[in-house]
Amino acid sequence: KAGVTQTPRYLIKTRGQQVTLSCSPISGHRSVSWYQQTPGQGLQFLFEYFSETQRNKGNFPGRFSGRQFSNSRSEMNVSTLELGDSALYLCASSPGHSTGELFFGEGSRLTVL
């Protein structure tokens, strides 16, 4: 099976812009989770989607949003970018019926200038 695929792998934006990141889960997986990884804060949970519904949400401002499509692919959007949004954004998928075993993508590295 192909692994979790994230695009783009790298991107550079300026403050105030918005960005959309994409994640294709492993075939058959219905749950997609997003994490932000920074040197200072480590891995922080953003949100989880299951069958097109947000099932869980972390403590991030409303500028961070996401959605999931009927084919389980997911996107996350960050609007009005700030310098502090520079991070590696990781997507992970799982079958959805149990917790814990997440299959991670390689991440999208966002740099905000």
Name the site residues for another protein (rule: CB under 8 A). Answer: 3-4, 33, 35, 42-43, 45, 48, 56, 58, 90, 92, 99-106
Instruction: Tell me the closest approach of the beta carbon of residue 24 to another protein, in angstroms.
Output: 14
Question: Whose Cβ is closer to another protein: residue 53's or residue 99's?
Answer: 99
CA-to-CA distance for 101 and 9, rounded, in angstroms? 23
Q: How many CB atoms lie within 10 A of CB 73?
A: 16
Decide whether 34 or 85 has the Cβ nearer to another protein: 34
Instruction: Tell me how far, at minimum, the Cβ of 90 lies from another protein, in Å.
Output: 7
CA torsion 94-51-54-13 (nearest 10°) is 70
Residue from 104, 3, 91, 106 nearest 48 by CA: 91
Task: Between 81 and 91, name the residue whose CB sits nearer to another protein.
Answer: 91
Residue 4 is which amino acid? V
Which of residues 16 and 61 has its CB atom nearest to another protein in the complex?
61
